[in-house]
Structure 1
Amino acid sequence: MLTLDFPIAGISVNPLIPVAAGFAVGLVCSPAGISGALYLLPFQLSVLGVAGPCSSATNMLYNVLATPGGVMRLIRERRMCWPLSLMVVAGSLPGIVVGVGLRIRYLPGADAFRTFAGLFLLASAVFLLVRVLRRGVEDLLNGKAPLEDVYFDLKWITWRFAGTHGRVPAMRLTITCFLIGVAAGGYGIGGAGLLVPVLVLFFRIPVYIAAGSSLLANFLNSAAGTVSYGLTGYMLGETALPDPRLAVLFAAGGFPGIYLGVRVQKYLPSRVLKLLLAMLSLVVAWRYLHASPAVAP
């Protein structure tokens, strides 16, 4: 069997395995506004055996390479609310940088990071399950209408979409996104996995709109996170560089997976997808919090 060595990640693996993993998570997760990096990180830890901050940094680089296809698709379909996206990025991107520093400084070991990852996945599962049980704006996921009018000032973001309208307090949104960014930066993702449920559940933003802003933030945050892992690791004397070859293989599958997932989003049973993702998060979280570590530190 063909295998390639990845010296930065410290593993040897058949190159088709990360390609297939990237495609699968991209296809399944992007309809919910998630790039799939949320699940690629435990795949790196428990299946491939990548340990240390390299796994988080590689996850970030994967997002940079794989997310643009989904973002461009959403822009072409007029589903990008630019004022909302601006506020989400303004809050979450600085949080990403802070989270990266905390990850490298306080969670460099595999065991400690698995505990954090388990708690992060548990929180993600709870958010997804709540979304499955709630109705209202969540049902707008399957809508086909483009975003209509958007009004923005320093206090409120207001929109009209599919015959409904709503508004979001801009400052509260920015602060919330900063806190999400801190957690996401430490885990090694751009934050879409938490941004979507928070935007929907706490700010009552339709998923159809939230998916665009979260994926754009995911891309920009991941670019900042990739650079931050390298620079912060250098300043703190830790090895935190991504493995570019491994990230490219993940993205080779993830790019078409995300693009196809966004394209078929309007036709998929969204509640079933979110339920499956929540169950997957719970299983992995339980494994990390209660079972013996699968990968030696």
Structure 2
Amino acid sequence: MSWWQGLLGFTAGLLIAVVTTPVGVSGAVFLLPVQLSVLQVPNPAVTPTNLLFNIVAVPGALLRYRRRGRLGGPLTRLLVLGTLPGVVIGALVRVFLLPGAQVFRLLVACLLFPLGLWLCVRTVRPLRRRNTPDDPSPGAVTALALAVGAVGGMYGIGGGSLLGPILVGRGLPVATVAPAALASTFLTSIAGALTYTVLALTAPGDIAPDWALGLLCGLGGLVGGYLGAHLQPRLPETGLRLLLGALAVALACLYTVQALI
């Protein structure tokens, strides 16, 4: 890794985390294209490298949320219960079934495009709420967390980055979802990174994370996540959601073109 790659990784992690942390997203979902296309991290090592970013970056935001008394609670436990086994399943699928870059880019596009559109539509035209919101049942939350955890294990985002916008779209408050989603991301990223490290001992190819780059990106995300969590009460939530949705759609289109060329 050259000095400019390290500097770019640190800067990208910081800027992305500042924008994404206020809505409960670690930023790994948007850092991955930088690692894959700009920093040239090989497949499938890019996925555990992204999980390593989460491990280093997320504690900054969690510390800030803890100081406000927003960390913990039943939602966090439900998310972790589902995403922990899901991320291990996703790691196994990523290594043995989807190691190629072309298939991986298409998977990324199929994941980001509907999520981005959904975020934009729900932000511009929110559904009419009932007088008493119909919160998802604990079983439904855990089942959703399991499925998203598997996708997160393949994609390198830990799962919480998808659960956050999904649950917020269902009507749960951002102040409740954001810390729970980030806590889930942190714990499942640890499990996912350990799974990839063990698989690197037995399976061929570039499977182990790029430790130096992952740590530098994570340090940037650590600073950016703390700042983002600090700024959450002062930032317009509508603008942040629209920005996240637009970025997701743009990245999906870019990856579709790259995969089909």
Structure 2 length normalisation: TM-score? 0.92
Task: Go from structure 1 to structure 2 and tell me whether the alpha carbon gap of 1:292 and 1:174 turns closer, same or farther (over 3 Å shift).
Answer: closer
Please say which of residues 124-133 and 62-71 is displaced more in the overlay.
124-133
Distance change (3 Å), C-alpha of 1:166 and 1:262 = farther
The structural deviation recorded for 1:41 is 0.5
Please name the residue that 1:68 is paired with: 59
Verify: 1:246 aligned to 2:244, yes or no. no
Map of 2:223 onto structure 1:
256
Aligned-pair CA distance for 1:81: 4.2
Contact 1:80–1:213 (8 Å) recurs in 2:
yes
Aligned residue type for 1:220: L
Q: Does the 8 Å contact 1:25/1:39 carry over to 2? A: yes
Contact 2:5/2:39 (8 A) holds in 1? no
CA distance in 1, matches of 2:103, 2:209: 20
Is 1:29 aligned to residue 27 of structure 2?
Answer: no
> What secondary structure is seen at the aligned counterpart in 1 of 2:202?
helix
Provide the rounded CA distance (Å) in 2 between the counterparts of 1:205 and 1:134.
16
Q: Which structure 1 residue ranges, 4+ long, deviate > 6 Å from structure 2? A: none
* Equivalent residues of 1:124, 1:281 under 8 A apart: yes
Shift in Å at residue 106 of structure 1? 1.2
Contact 1:131 1:197 in 2 (8 A): no
Conserved? CA contact 2:47–2:156, under 8 Å: yes
Between stretches 192-201 and 284-293, larger displacement belongs to 284-293
Question: Residue in 1 aligned with 2:163?
Answer: 195
1:113 aligned partner: 104
Give the corresponding residue for 1:44: 35
Deviations 1:26-60 (A, max 9, x none): 10110111111001111111111222011111000
Deviation per CA, 1:179-220, whole angstroms, max 9, x where unpaired?
010111111111222111221223x32111000100000100
Q: Which residue of 1 aligns with 2:152?
A: 184
Residues in 2 aligned to 1:20 and 1:238: alpha-carbon distance in whole angstroms: 29
The amino acid that maps onto 2:160 is A
Question: SS at 2:152's partner residue?
Answer: helix
Q: 1:256: Cα distance to partner?
A: 0.8
- Note if contact 2:83-2:145 (Cα within 8 Å) is conserved in structure 1: yes
CA positional deviation for 1:101: 0.5
Q: How many residues align?
A: 259
Give the distance between the partners of 2:81 and 2:50, measured in 1 at CA.
Answer: 21
Tell me the SS of whatever aligns to 1:283.
Answer: helix
CA distance, structure 2, for counterparts of residue 93 and residue 130 of structure 1: 30
- CA distance in 1 between partners of 2:8 and 2:243 (Å): 22
- TM-score, length basis structure 1: 0.81
1:1-297 map, 5 Å: 4-5=1-2, 13-135=4-126, 167-202=135-170, 204-291=171-258
Gaps of 5+ in 2: none
* Deviation of 1:291 (Å): 3.9
CA offset at residue 129 of structure 1?
Answer: 1.4
Q: Which structure dedicates a bigger proportion of its chain to helix?
A: 2
Secondary structure, aligned partner of 2:224: helix
What amino acid is the match of 1:227?
L
Deviation string 1:201-255 (CA, Å, 9 cap, x unpaired) is 23x3211100010000010010001001112343343431011110111012111
What are the ranges of 5 or more consecutive residues in structure 1 without an aligned counterpart?
A: 6-11, 139-163
Residue 135 (structure 1) shift:
4.2
Q: What is the rounded CA distance, in whole Å, between the counterparts of 1:49 and 1:137 in structure 2? A: 45
Amino acid at match of 2:238: R
CA distance in 2, matches of 1:166, 1:292: 40
CA RMSD of aligned residues (A): 2.2
SS class of match (1:205): coil
Which has the larger Rg?
A: 1
Contact 2:102 2:259 in 1 (8 A): no
Q: Deviations over 1:79-128 (max 9, x none)?
A: 12421101110011110000011011111111111111111111321232
Structure 1 residues 169 and 232: alpha-carbon distance in aligned structure 2, compared to 1, 3 A threshold: same
Q: CA deviation at 1:63?
A: 0.4
- The one-letter code of the counterpart of 1:243 is D
